[in-house]
Amino acid sequence: MEPSTIFWSLFTINWLIWLFEQYLAWRQYQVHLKNEKRPSLLSNLMTKRNYARARLYKLDRDRYGFVTDIFNQVQTTIFVFGGLMPLLWNYCGNYTTNEIFVFGGLMPLLWNYCGNYTTNEILQSIYFVLFLTVVDVVISFPFSYYDTFIIEQKHGFNQQTFGFFLKDKAKKIVLNLTFGFFLKDKAKKIVLNLVLTLPILSGIIWLVQWGGEYFFFYLWLFISAIIFVMMTIYPEFIAPLFDKYVPLPDGELKQKIEALAKKVGFPLTKLYVVQGSKRSSHSNAYMYGFWNNKRIVLYDTLLAPETIVELFGESEKKEEPTQENLPVIDVSDSDEEIDTNNAKNRTKKGMTDDEVVAVLGHELGHWKMHHTVIHIVIAELNLFLSLYIFGSLYKNDTLFEAFGFHGQHPTLIGFLLVFQLALAIYNEIAGVAQSFLSRHMEFSADRFSADLGYADTLSNSLIKLGVDNLSLPVDDPLYSAVHHSHPPIPERVKVLEKLKNERVEISETTDLGSE
């Protein structure tokens, strides 16, 4: 196949996939735009005011998404298909000499020592990544600022000051320069969303050069090991650099969580609360750890305000946004009064202890049914297959020549061409399949929590999470099928109601039988 044929084929596929994604996003936007009034099926889930707030938030995020998607696609097209990639690669190749790398020859001994374990391609790749990292930070900064201080702040989520924002950005830049590796959207998914590090990049290039015909197998072992190491050290050493973690103090909530963990056999060793409210008002909870060393982390935004004050002090408590600071909602007093009688009206954020326990019952369901292990196994198989394909295409002269690389096969460029372009269709299909599996697992975890007796409480928790996070449970079915890893809240609440009724019927049948 001619280089030009490969070039235009991949160009067409790239743009067709992007246009398909924009078509889905437009369908979703139209659903949000047209459903100005709260659908009747949501009358028991959201007040009209909360629905209106969630809708305005979603519309702002949809419009912001269109702008960023267009910008990123144009940027990718210019860089990958416009000939800038080989120009930048060759430019970086001019700075792999001793003098430049060791700052004017001040460290020749160190350079000579390192020279025994490096190649020009490794150094060239490092310069390439560093240059792109700096450019990306500069270009993305206005978008990050608008996202945080315009959209999130407008809707009452942003809790950061500009100084905190800059400090947080600086930490991430340092981490990226130390650990960062440039792989775009789809490639990141292929390698389990792991941001490869500069030292790891060097290891990857060395393995490709050393591994011979079966380098893809050694590369799979290497990346898999790095994934598990990062899964271990990130929550312990990296995450605390950005947020404050404190042990959940003794009390009724801790006792209930420990009792639940004991009931299902979960080897809980530590229980933390993270001060996520300093960054955002969004709520979350997660667990981590291997074998018999499991930990649970609760975001403080899940907890009642008095608990947050106890943990972080009055000075750390964030004020809820006033109505004056939020978008104007056109809901008449009479409508709101009627609405209050039909829906669970929420006036403050946070959950009761039982609601937090119900959420953790759901999370423990994922653990009990080995969902995390299943995800890891699938991701490892996906990674192996992708690396095998990469190994088959890596030495393809025509592929590299199509993008301006004549007589050379840089590993970093190969990753970009194969993972982001050649595997684009496969990545889309795999993503849809992963979303389908994930939704099935969410229902299974809901059932687990319901079987523990938390059907009603979990329903309340899901509703509160939706309201607190301004989730809009109105979706285009095609968009939802492709992108949503969690079923819509109304659907989950409906299933939980059915499960509760089934338990009641079974209980009544058992009672009649005993009589």
Neighbours of 152 (CB within 10 A): 21
Distance from C-alpha of 30 to C-alpha of 180, rounded to nearest angstrom:
37
- Whether 213 is a known active-site residue: answer no
Please return the burial class of 491, using the count of CB atoms within 10 Å of its CB with bins 0-12, 13-18 and 19+.
middle
Distance from C-alpha of 513 to C-alpha of 508, rounded to nearest angstrom:
9
Cα distances (angstroms) measured from residue 98 to each of 102, 104, 107, 119: 6, 8, 9, 12
- Whether 363 is a known active-site residue: answer yes
Distance from C-alpha of 209 to C-alpha of 411, rounded to nearest angstrom:
9
Please list, in sequence order, all residues whose beta carbon lies within 8 angstroms of the beta carbon of residue 298, skipping any fewer than 6 positions away: 248, 271, 272, 273, 274, 285, 356
Cα distances (angstroms) measured from residue 319 to each of 125, 155, 313, 327: 47, 14, 13, 17
CB 419 within 8 A of CB 187: yes
Please return the burial class of 487, using the count of CB atoms within 10 Å of its CB with bins 0-12, 13-18 and 19+.
buried
State which H helix or E strand residue 151 sits in: none
434-471 burial, b at 16+ Cβ within 10 Å, e below that, comes to bbeeebebbbebbbbbbebebbebbbbbbbbbbbbbbb
CB 220 within 8 A of CB 387: yes
CB 378 within 8 A of CB 434: yes
Cα distances (angstroms) measured from residue 309 to each of 25, 250, 301, 346: 40, 15, 12, 20
Please list, in sequence order, all residues whose beta carbon lies within 8 angstroms of the beta carbon of residue 333, skipping any fewer than 6 positions away: none
Distance from C-alpha of 280 to C-alpha of 302, rounded to nearest angstrom:
12
Determine which one of 121, 339, 355, 446 is catalytic: 446
The residue written with tokens 């759901």 in the block is 362
Q: Which two tokens stand for residue 429?
A: 């299909």
Determine which one of 300, 363, 442, 475 is catalytic: 363
Catalytic residues: 363, 446
